Chain A
Amino acid sequence: MVALKQEEILRLAEKAVGLAQRKGVDEAEAFVYQGLTTNVNIERGQINKSSRIVDRGLGIRAIVNKAIGFSYTNMVESELVIEETVLKALNSAKASKPDEDWQGLPTKKTFSSVEGTYDNEIVELNSEDLVNIASTMLGAAEKTDRRVFPIEGDAGASYLCKAVANSNGVEGFDHGTIIECSLATIAKGEGEATPACFEFNIERKYDMNPEWVGKEAARLAVSALKAKGIETKNMSVIFTQFALQQLLQYTLINAVKADYVQRNQSAFKGKIGKKVASDIVTVHDDGLLNGGLRTWKFDGEGVPQQKTPIIEEGVLRNFIYDNYTAMKEGKESTGNASRAGYLSTPNVAATNFRIVPGNESKEDLISGLEEGLLVYFLQGAHSSNPASGEFSVVATPAWKIENGEVVYATKGVMLAGNIFQVLGNVSGLANNERKIGQLVAPWVLVENVKVIGR
């Protein structure tokens, strides 16, 4: 399928808004998304699959008497279907109920400028190039140790475009690239197999190190062999970015969304200006982070993205807003409206949720501990209580730290507690920042975590 060009995408959005206005809506907004993704897959130690996915479509919000209708289609070549989609949005609005808090779509503002989000080299990659990346990664893992079995992995490149237009004159186009490669391996010892150990690279620019990914995934798996049970007790825990992302995604990140706060689902309600974390914790939602995975000129409803301080030296400063939740409080949107491509209406979401790193190396973090646990992954973080922040999860793989050294892998270990207490007990931040999904963070050391063993 031939990709639509910038002008075509923008024109499509404008056309849909114009059409909706002529059909008599009070307000209209069109969002066009196009994603081209090429992928190469590794399964059971070999590259055996490649795919190319072209997905594009148009989503229309129509507002009639403060009631909101939405409709989408992926058949944007057909004038007839576009018109039908506009009508469906209109009819949906008419069938819906008015929302007294609705105060209008965003107005026109100058978009932010962003850096490090597009790389032509990624757009021009073909499947053979991705086969080479995957192959390098796979080879590096296999060379590391013969007990290592690469089970799954991939190398992928995407080119994403989005355009927005609304009846207040907002219009914009932005595009960006993403490249990634990842590998999961297990190691098999005498009568035991490790949990899957995973590494990856993901960047907006073509800056990859598949050799490192392969080696590291293999090294982790080997060191996860000969796992032992441990005793139940409270101890210091170092969370890697993977574990942190799993833990925060369902708790802290939701707690700062204005939508959650306004609807009494956040433990942070009424806590602006109050101490919510230890002094060393500073968090920004940075929609403009150079090379950030979620850095764009504008958000899902055409509001410029921005950098918003969330927690400064332990004190809660701001929540994140889309246009609707902001106007409800007489505020301005923080540019945090997020969309699932053309398929959904906007929702409040973090952009690049950045925990500002510290000065210590990760080795220093480990060597400072008499006793502790190094946790790579969590199982079951999605079953945390999203409102209270209480969690009860399995730490796997995880390693025991004794006298400043990682001594052995653990098994059957659970962690339990409350994310908001965890924030208060943060006592160390490493300098090894990395990006993973919405999170940008270093390794984080937390005191006094309940560790449940046998």
Chain B
Amino acid sequence: MKDILSKTIDVAVQKFGAEYAEARAQKLFKTMLTLKEERVEAVKQGIENGAALRVLVNGAWGFASVGTLNTETLTNAASDACKMARAASLRLKKPIKLAEAKAVEDIVSMIPRKDPSKIPVEDKINTALTMSKIIQGYDSRIKSCTIDYLDLTGTTYFMNNEDTCIEQGKLYVWSRLLATAVEAGVFTFSREEIGSTAGYEIFDVETPEIVGERVAKRAVEQLKAKPPKGGTFPAVLGPNVVGVFVHEAFGHLAEADLTLLGSVLLGKFGKKIASDVVTFYDDGLVEGAFGSFKYDDEGVPTQKTLLVKNGVVIGLMHNRETAQKFSAKLTGNARAEDFRFEPIIRMRNTFMEPKDHSFEELVEDVKFGYYFKGFRGGQASLDGTFQVGIQEAYEIVNGEIGAPIRNASISGSTLETLLKVDAVGKDFELWPGRCGKGQTAFICDGGPHIRVKEVLVGGSA
């Protein structure tokens, strides 16, 4: 493999005049399952081999992706990529430069306790079937459930014309559980994800029984929930909601490519944007977490990156291009979904650091507000407005958790909201998820429980 990639890079540099050239290749194997109720819709297995060439010619990027590892095709792809770059450079005003990266030679192997590629498909079906049975057996008002399962194993290769050469094992295990419940014309919906880079042993902790019951219980409890009042209220956010808030509302703004596009963080470096109790990290080193890896897809080692410390912006997440623009250190955030995509800046495991409050202390001072426990999706814009949909919520009345609330969402200005965080809990949870930014990345997000003085709640009551 190394020989083929190195030959391809030589062609790009020597024959087509690339200033920079990198080649990535993958040999990956996937197993997927979908269960709808107890029906196994299909057992799916896939082989995906392919390679991508990325080059800089005259300061512009060229990229070519091919679904093969054949030398001749890759050489043609190198020529294609250089041609592409030359065309793109025609109207270029500012040539692209890359921050310097240390050359790395390494072989990274995954050593799972339970290697998913060695587990018989029958066992995976049984795990999914157990989830399905637990969910459906929980309550007769559960009307449907969908279980998706995915595992991905194999090897990726990275090589560039700066002597970096990395062979890296890949391993992901993921599952998603969806349940709906119906009663008297009320439809509820509940969702949960499991994800790990450690191995199939994730199901020993997040057992089908535990996760299945969590999903089913939420769907059923939502049946008696009422819509929230619309307006501005104090709120306590659970780790799952804090995670998606940190990821969506703040994290994307701190991806240096989006910061450069004019996110509200541009020009806020070293400035206070959040209350003193707010500290955020994006960490690629959390063992076994869904967003962890050793080297990113530009061959840069991953790290634990401090983004905000005590309310002050300390760092951004970079690739080699943005690190050069900001004269910043490399953070190892360049990730590509697979050989079809070029690496872009992505989050890894993004979280808020815990502090000192117990859950009771967070809730006790709230006269009337909401406890937002689980999210259903989130989104943010560069101008710093965010929306987080909520799948599990409760009223807080006179310092006590009250009636359940359904179909709420919160929104507002990220920076204003961060300044209103007035207490941070001492607990901590990290949740797996998938993030879309034109390509999918496996990530985690999380944090402790927190309290926000006020947030805009969208409701229909």
Contact = CB atoms under 8 A, between A and B. Distances in A.
A411 interface: yes
Contacts of B324: none
Given A53-B340, A387-B188, A394 B85 contact: no
Nearest to B144: A263
Contact of A1 (B60, B76, B377): B76
B43 A92 contact: yes
A392 B405 CA distance: 13
Q: In the complex, which of the residues A51, A61, A88, A135 has the most CB atoms of chain B within 10 Å of its own CB atom?
A: A51
Contact of A379 (B188, B375, B385, B413): B385
Contact of B61 (A49, A194, A389): A49
B44 A50 contact: no
Report the contact-size class of chain A (Cβ under 8 Å from the partner).
35 or more
Nearest to A382: B377
A75 B262 contact: no
Interface residues of B, number: 91
Contacts of A411: 385
A52 B63 contact: yes
A343 interface: yes
Contacts of B23: none
A384 B389 contact: yes
Interface in B177-233: 180, 182, 186-189, 227, 230-232
Contacts of B113: none
Given A51-B64, A68-B43, A345-B42, A264 B143 contact: yes
B70 to A, nearest CB: 7
Contacts of B187: 265, 267, 385, 387-389
B135 to A, nearest CB: 13
Interface stretch (A40-48, A165-173, A174-182, A302-310): A40-48
A47 B90 CA distance: 8
A146 to B, nearest CB: 15
Nearest to A387: B187
Nearest to A54: B66
Given A1-B77, A77-B70, A97 B40 contact: yes
Given A1-B67, A70-B44, A392-B389, A50 B61 contact: yes
B183 to A, nearest CB: 11
B358 interface: no
Given A68-B42, A97-B125, A46 B92 contact: yes
A75 B49 contact: yes
Given A383-B376, A412-B412, A74 B36 contact: no
Nearest to B230: A452
A89 B388 CA distance: 40
Interface in B338-382: 340, 342, 375-382
Contact of A57 (B37, B67, B262, B385): B67
Interface string A371-393: 00000000110111111111111
Q: In the complex, which of the residues A50, A55, A384 has the most CB atoms of chain B within 10 Å of its own CB atom?
A: A50
B458 interface: yes
A414 B409 contact: yes
Interface in A403-454: 411-412, 414-418, 450, 452, 454
Contact of B48 (A41, A68, A74, A152): A74
Contacts of B46: 71-73, 343
Contacts of A75: 47, 49, 67-68
Contacts of A358: none
A40 B92 CA distance: 12
Nearest to A74: B67
B45 A88 contact: yes
A67 B382 contact: no
A351 interface: no
Nearest to B341: A53
A130 B84 CA distance: 11
B261 A195 contact: no
Interface string A57-99: 1000100000111111111010001001100110111011101
A131 B143 contact: no
B382 A387 contact: no
Contact of B84 (A52, A55, A88, A389): A52
Contacts of B375: 383
Contacts of B68: 1, 74-75, 77
Interface in A234-278: 259, 263-265, 267
Contacts, number: 294
A101 interface: yes
Interface in A98-137: 99, 101, 126-128, 130-131, 135
A396 interface: yes
A388 to B, nearest CB: 4
Interface in B79-126: 80-81, 83-85, 87-88, 90-94, 96, 120-122, 125
A151 interface: yes
Contacts of A48: 60-61, 88, 92, 96
A385 B189 contact: yes
Contacts of A49: 60-63, 88, 342
Nearest to A97: B40
Contacts of A56: 67
Given A48-B60, A263-B37, A151 B262 contact: yes
A193 interface: yes
24 contacts: A1-B73, A41-B61, A47-B92, A51-B64, A67-B40, A70-B43, A73-B48, A85-B47, A91-B121, A99-B40, A99-B41, A126-B87, A130-B87, A131-B90, A135-B91, A193-B264, A194-B383, A263-B143, A343-B46, A380-B377, A380-B379, A388-B189, A392-B460, A417-B460
* Minimum-distance CB pairs A-B, first 10: A383-B389, A380-B387, A383-B377, A387-B187, A264-B143, A51-B63, A74-B67, A388-B187, A392-B458, A50-B84
Interface of B: 34, 36-37, 39-50, 60-68, 70, 73, 76-77, 80-81, 83-85, 87-88, 90-94, 96, 120-122, 125, 129, 143-144, 180, 182, 186-189, 227, 230-232, 257, 260-262, 264, 340, 342, 375-383, 385-390, 406-409, 411-413, 456, 458-460
Given A52-B64, A392-B407, A394-B458, 11 more contacts: A40-B88, A52-B84, A69-B42, A92-B43, A193-B264, A383-B390, A385-B189, A388-B188, A388-B407, A396-B381, A454-B456
